Amino acid sequence: MKKQPQAEQRQLSQTSLPTDSLPIDALYDEFKSAIKDNHLVVESDTGSGKSTRLPLWCAEADETLSYSLSESSDHSGKKVEGKSKRVLVVEPRRVACLALASFVGSQTDIAVGHAIRFDSTVTAQTQIAFVTPGIALRWLQEDGLAGFDTVIIDEFHERRWDTDLLLAMLKQKVADSPDLRLVLTSATIDGERLTRYLATNTPNTAQGCASDLSAKRLYAQGRRFHVELRYQAKESHHLPDIRGVEQAVKTAVSQLLTETDGDILVFLPGKREIQACLQACQPLTGEIDNSGRDNSRLELLALHGGISPMEQKQILIESSGQRVIFSTNVAETSLTIPGVTAVIDSGLERRTHQRNGRTVLSLARISRASCEQRKGRAGRTQDGICIRLWGKGAPLEAMTPPELQREELVEPMLAAAGCGYRLSQLQFVDTIPAKALAIAEQKLLSMGAIDEQGKITEHGNKLSPLPIDTLFAHLISAMPDDECRGLMVDLAAALSVPQRLFKLPTSEQALKDLNEWEPLGCDAFTLIKLVREPLAEFMSDNALVDLNGRKEARFLSNQIRSALQLSRLNQAQPIGPKQSELRQRWLSSVIKALPELAFVRREKRVTALGNGYSEVQIGRDSRFCSELKDFNGKESALAALVFDQHSIAGKGSKQTLNLASCMVPVSLKALLDAGLGEERLAENREKGASHKVVVETLYAGRVIGSRLKAVEGEQALEAIVRSIALGRQFKGVAARLNGDIAAWNIWLALGKNREQAPTPELKALGNEPLVFENYLSDKLSELGVESYDDLELIEAEDLLFEGIPEWEREAFDAMYPTKLALAELKVTVEYLPKRKLVTLVYAGGLRKTGPKRWELPRWVGWKIQYRKASRVVDVK
């Protein structure tokens, strides 16, 4: 299979076909007519020209503007007269946003610009603006997107939370702006359902009425060539699997190099897998394969959000040599790479979703719809080949669930509030889970970012503009002074870039150098020093730092510093041992602002830490010591602040393994000083005649501190009940009470008349069984006992329980004993009256055989069982 010749001019393009004829052009007349009175849903295959043509068509001003079309009627957009409308194009990925703005700008006289984080060329004169969703949301909050006549949301099938939210708010906005047009584009989407959604009546909250919106679906058939489909797994039912993916990819690449001269596109879940597969395939370059072909000119390239714009541009133009491009799903629909004739699909992606009330990033299998999109990349210009690294019969989901269905909703809720909307009251394509809404609302309320009515607060307005997660924005604003605020800004910047800035060294000398450079074993201070200070020599020598990521983090830090009127990075003080007081002040402020970031080690699993809500494992990227003592024999920290974590799916459908990757060692005392944990009375409570008790502070299931305390009130009552139960007070009373209460509960279970109870209190309980601790606590309160000193005013008889009428008790105990002493065998007796079942439980004795029916009470009509350890037998 040979790569077909391309146009001579190399272009940064959404398509590798000549731009004078694209499949989407067939819709030109219908599109121009329909958009006058409708919002539009445009469906067409990837590479058909949606992203490059539709912005130009939308910019045309009805009949007042004419375009000089070529003989092929390519609708490429050469302006001759009239005034263009302003168009906002929302692209979900920065790579695509830059590429499309560059290409469309080269095709027209209309002013085209782009706006992404850190970079904007959009001015008041810009008529077509390509922006990322975050920029669009910010502009909507600032001025309601005033001045734009059309908003195009491209690649809507990805169902990101920010594009879903943007659409829901724009749908609300058009009730007040009838001239605003919405255009949704996608290669794979339920167009009819989305069209119905756009056409539904939306309440106009300002006017108290509804706007009757009309919507129309347009479809253009793309160019498709035959793609030969192969499955590489040994068994048909085998699912996509990350294990052994490097070797599987190498095998598939080696095979395809003998069959095609075109480029090979390999879909992988993330940067780590891309690097591993790229290295695994490195030996293939320069090889002479079995057909005698020389691969010395073969290029191996990586495509993901972390590469530089220049590297992106080189991949998106045609190459004279053959290439193997290892890519994330950015190449699935957002970008078209010219010259691809073969695809290798791992069937995996990294996906965010909600589990157990929090958002996790995990390795997930792609949907069948994504499989088809990836396969189609091999058949855009000629017949191609697609190799799937799983089995033909593997059960994959039909579509990827929308992010709003699986992500935490803190960011969407704050963004909606910033634009004047309440997330729970917006109309979405899919209903948002009520549980996720409640969790997000509670978190934002605790941060003080919204009020009880869901409106954004002054504090929330400070968080919203910062180009970082709400959590980091909240922490920055909660810092008490500029020094602490600067630390938090630099850490937030380091954790907000897509690249992992630092990887742990493997050599012994480099590890030693690292521990001397940052001796606290603190991931946060490691990152802050990386952002603030020049790189240490050992880091450069061992290639430990992602230079592009560090550059972006420094840029982001300076941007936030400027917004907060903090000194620039080059004026920030170095991080060293002398800053211990600053470090403690910073950590104390963090714990106070977000206590849930504090985790303590599990006592029996020292590599696991909990915070009372979730559990994390120490990630392999963290410097936090995984042993109780470090390599110098020094005791390691028992607690940590966890600023960053990621998760992978566990064995069960509801299980996750959370891996902490940015940890700060802290002492248990720091948690105590911050007021974390709840107090409880210790098991060993009494201390001398003063009746002081040991009070423990418990956090996430672990005791983090204890102290002596003279108790009073409920704590005193709890301590007295415990003392009586252990026989330290009123010796013998507890045993009698337990026996009497156990007999009473059996009496009730047998359906005896509660009206025979000797006291009104017992009659009022109905048929609920009695609990020893509850009875004793209530009895002590009834007697007026509030402290240990009050015990001198009562007698043991005052505490006794009278339940079963005295005249029936002897016969009842004989028929329904709770303990039996048989020949060399002691058993306790359990009753299940509803099942008419008696269970004798071994309690001691030398007897090897079980009890016999003749030596037991006459339980007429009852089934009798004997249980010893896990063995249960019937007694006959």
Amino acid at 618: I
Q: Name the DSSP letter for residue 830.
A: E
Residue extents of the structural domains in the chain: 23-220, 227-400, 466-593, 733-813, 817-874
CA distance readout (Å), 544 to 408, 525, 532, 557, 625: 32, 16, 16, 21, 19
Nearest-angstrom CA–CA distance, 287 and 256: 14
CATH code, 23-220: 3.40.50.300
Q: Which of 658, 665, 605 lies closest to 639 in space, CA to CA? A: 665
CB 315 within 8 A of CB 353: no
Q: Which of 739, 528, 503 lies closest to 623 in space, CA to CA? A: 503
829 phi and psi angles, rounded to 5 deg: -120, 125
**Helix or strand run (H / E) with residue 871:** strand 871-874
- In terms of CATH, what superfamily is 227-400? P-loop containing nucleotide triphosphate hydrolases (3.40.50.300)
Nearest-angstrom CA–CA distance, 613 and 721: 30
Nearest-angstrom CA–CA distance, 467 and 530: 20
Q: Which of 423, 404, 425 lies closest to 414 in space, CA to CA? A: 423
How far does CA 518 lie from the centroid of its chain?
Answer: 30
> Does the global pTM surpass 0.85?
no
Q: Can you give 89-141 as a three-state secondary structure string? A: EECCCHHHHHHHHHHHHHCCCCCEEEEECCEECCCCCCCEEEECHHHHHHHHH
**Helix or strand run (H / E) with residue 264:** strand 263-267
pLDDT at 626: 87
SS3 419: coil
One fold for both 23-220 and 227-400?
A: yes
How far does CA 221 lie from the centroid of its chain?
Answer: 37
Name, in order, each residue with C-beta under 8 angstroms of 506's C-beta and a sequence gap of 6 or more.
Answer: none
Joined together, the tokens standing for residue 515 give 């521990």
**Mode of pairing for the β-strands spanning 837-844 and 863-868:** parallel
CA distance readout (Å), 819 to 186, 323, 813, 848: 74, 81, 10, 19
In angstroms, the first-to-last Cα distance of the chain is 81
CB 407 within 8 A of CB 355: no
CA distance readout (Å), 69 to 21, 66, 492, 825: 11, 9, 50, 102
Nearest-angstrom CA–CA distance, 22 and 15: 9
Average pLDDT per 10 consecutive residues for the chain, totaling 876 residues = 39 37 88 91 85 91 39 39 76 86 89 89 93 94 90 91 95 86 84 87 50 79 85 90 92 92 92 91 78 76 80 81 89 76 93 55 84 87 92 88 86 93 94 91 89 92 82 90 94 87 88 90 94 88 83 91 88 80 93 94 92 90 86 84 79 66 94 90 57 84 85 79 85 89 84 62 68 89 85 88 85 89 92 89 92 91 92 91
Amino acid at 625: C
